[in-house]
Structure 1
Amino acid sequence: MPIVNILVTREGTSPGADRTTAEQKKAIYKGIADLLFDVMGKPREDTTVIFHEHEIEDLGQGALPLAAYRRERARSRQTAG
């Protein structure tokens, strides 16, 4: 039985959204099950998808809190371009 963990930040993908919608999650569940079936022949009904949403404050990258890392990265892209 395939088990797939999806980890995302709790940020919406459209203006004003603060989390992933139920419709988006439904599409992700279907997409993952379809992909495993198409690529590996795994039955869709045997696929379990676990969706984890985390507050941005709970994540770090590049030895910084995620929000600070993103600001630094954006600043370095602006000065490079």
Structure 2
Amino acid sequence: MPIVTIKITDEGVTTQQKNQLIKGATELLEKVLNKNPAHTFVLIEEISTDNWGVSGESVTVRRERQKKS
């Protein structure tokens, strides 16, 4: 029973896009590992950009700086 966790920032991802991620991950596990889709679980975690950091700063700070450039 595979469990896939996809972590993304909470920046306007639509329900349709999430459904595409769930479907795509499920199909990939079926194709590559021959896993039964009925037993495949996909979790999507949306994380605030304040709680996602890269290169020593939050994504929120990086995005604000990019807007000013």
Normalising by structure 1, we get a TM-score of 0.71
The number of aligned residues is: 66
Runs of 4+ in structure 1 over 2 Å off: 67-72
Which structure 1 residue ranges, 5 or more long, are not aligned? 12-18, 76-81
Equivalent residue for 2:58, pick from 57, 62, 65:
65
Equivalent residue for 2:43, pick from 40, 47, 50:
50
Which structure 2 residue ranges, 5 or more long, are not aligned? none
Q: Distance in 1 between matches of 2:16 and 2:57?
A: 32
Give, in angstroms, the shift of residue 37 of structure 1: 0.4
**Structure number, greater radius of gyration:** 1
Equivalent residue for 1:21, pick from 14, 17, 25:
14
Q: Distance in 1 between matches of 2:62 and 2:13?
A: 22
Q: Distance in 1 between matches of 2:58 and 2:21?
A: 27
Give, in angstroms, the shift of residue 22 of structure 1: 1.2
Greater RCO, CA 8 A, separation 6+ = 2
Normalising by structure 2, we get a TM-score of 0.82
Corresponding residue SS for 1:24 = helix
Q: Once the two structures are aligned, what percentage of the paired residues are identical?
A: 33
Q: After alignment, is 31-40 or 52-61 more displaced? A: 52-61
